[in-house]
Amino acid sequence: MRKGIADLYRRAEASQASNNRYLGALAAAADTTALGELTARLGQPVKRKGRRVRAINPCAPTDSKLLETISCGEWVINGFRNRDLRGLLFADKDASKQEQRLHAAMVSRQIAMLRAHRLVRKVRGAHRYHLSAKGRLIVTALICARNVGTEALIKLVA
């Protein structure tokens, strides 16, 4: 967008959308839906564009690191790109060009998997992605459950 007043309306729209995403991220922490209900479909493979996409295993190290990476607050405003995730998931700075291509392909497949499970959505006209409302809720619940001790979980159930 240009910095003049000609794009003031569009700048206001973008700012409001950013504020709404941020408030949605804060509201995800206050949901009372059971974790089993939220994650029931994640453990099942899904079909997207006629192709099977594998299930997400939130206990596996690669999937849990991916979910933790996409839930960072820095992505709420502008979203994330393949390059952003690659920098956090892999040490790409010192990697060769061939390794960087392999990492880019791996992240592309992981983003496609997240899109198939409807955890992220693509920003139209850009190579960026945002967590969907459902994705924000599920990822927040999974991270909280992973980081809470057993004793605290038992107190919640009792």
pLDDT digits (tens, 9 = 90+) for 14-24: 888 888 877 77
The ranges assigned to domains in the chain are 5-157
pTM exceeds 0.85: no
Q: pLDDT tens digits for 10-48? A: 888 888 888 887 777 666 656 677 778 878 888 899 999
Q: Which helix (H) or strand (E) holds 22?
A: helix 8-27
Tell me the mean pLDDT in the region 59-84: 90
Identity of the amino acid at 121: R
141 has pLDDT over 80 = yes
Average pLDDT, whole number, for the chain?
85
Q: In 3D, which of 61, 85, 83, 53 has the Cα closest to residue 71?
A: 85
